[in-house]
Structure 1
């Protein structure tokens, strides 16, 4: 009587030891890439907003800020806060980290948009030493909105 030959192992039993870790690492990499893409999109939207651009340009143009931080003044990647609104109205509350050759600071921007125009309630650079530099113009007074 002849013995029945043992069938060769199937693909899964031969390859599971490398396939499972590869699948887990690939899944984690895809999730991390998705989260990174969402964060980049959100930060990109915040950085392209008018309150962000106005605050950054005023900080770079202000002599006291340049003297305290040095040049070039570069914004940090992680902007904190929120921007809500539409074409006619909205609100922005941002904390933008700034770094220069001599130091670091945080730019605070609080603005309200009425009739399509941004009015800045707060536009202040807070230096690491505690000093605050107000960047608002006289025209930026938000008192007309009932503050």
Structure 2
């Protein structure tokens, strides 16, 4: 009679390294999922804020800026800066990269929130190629630049 040796399963042969490795990989994956969700959560909170929306709206309505960058004007990367809101007060100081078919620029918004209302000290754009600064709060441009 032949004796057949019972074969062990892959897991029973390799559990000594598979379990610790699987646990470590799980922790690493969960860490990156947490970081990604934190990044996208904060990013969506900031892009949903009134200062961000107001700055983008003013950029899309400015005819001189549209002439320089082309249409449509859209965001071009990750917003930087800070927005802090506590009760009905807050402060915003953000920069948003924007682009159009003709060029790129950075939108800057600085404002404060008092009694639930935002007021903006500065909303301006700096064109990347020329370093020209365009005030979007409605200062008077020379007649040659108005449209």
- After TM superposition, the score normalised by the length of structure 1 is 0.78
Q: Secondary structure at the match of 1:78?
A: coil
Match of 1:58 in 2: 58
Q: Deviations over 1:7-65 (max 9, x none)?
A: x79x5652344444443333222111110100111111111111100000000111111
Aligned to 2:34: 34
Which residue of the partner structure matches residue 131 of structure 1?
132
User: Structure 2 vs 1, CA of residues 101 and 21 (structure 1 numbering), >3 Å: closer, same or farther?
Assistant: farther
3-state SS in 2 of match to 1:83: strand
Task: Structure 1 unaligned segments of length 5 or more: list them.
Answer: 1-7, 139-147
Distance in 1, matches of 2:81 and 2:15, equals: 48
Aligned counterparts of 1:40 and 1:14: Cα–Cα separation in 2: 38
Give the aligned partner of residue 89 of structure 1: 89
**Corresponding residue for residue 143 of structure 2:** none
TM-score by length of 2: 0.78
In structure 2, the partner of 1:117 is: 117
> Which deviations, in whole Å up to 9, do the C-alpha atoms of 1:111-139 show, x marking residues without a partner?
0112221111110111102001100136x
Distance 2:55 2:49 in 1: 10
Quote the RMSD (CA, aligned, Å): 2.4
CA–CA distance in 2 between the matches of 1:51 and 1:106?
A: 15
Secondary structure at 1:72's aligned position in 2?
coil
Q: Please identify runs of 4+ aligned residues in structure 1 that moved more than 6 A.
A: none
**Pair 1:106–1:13, CA change in 2 (3 A):** same
**Which structure 2 residues correspond to residues 15-34 of structure 1 after superposition, within 5 A?**
15-34=15-34
Q: Deviations over 1:93-124 (max 9, x none)?
A: 00111111111111000001122211111101
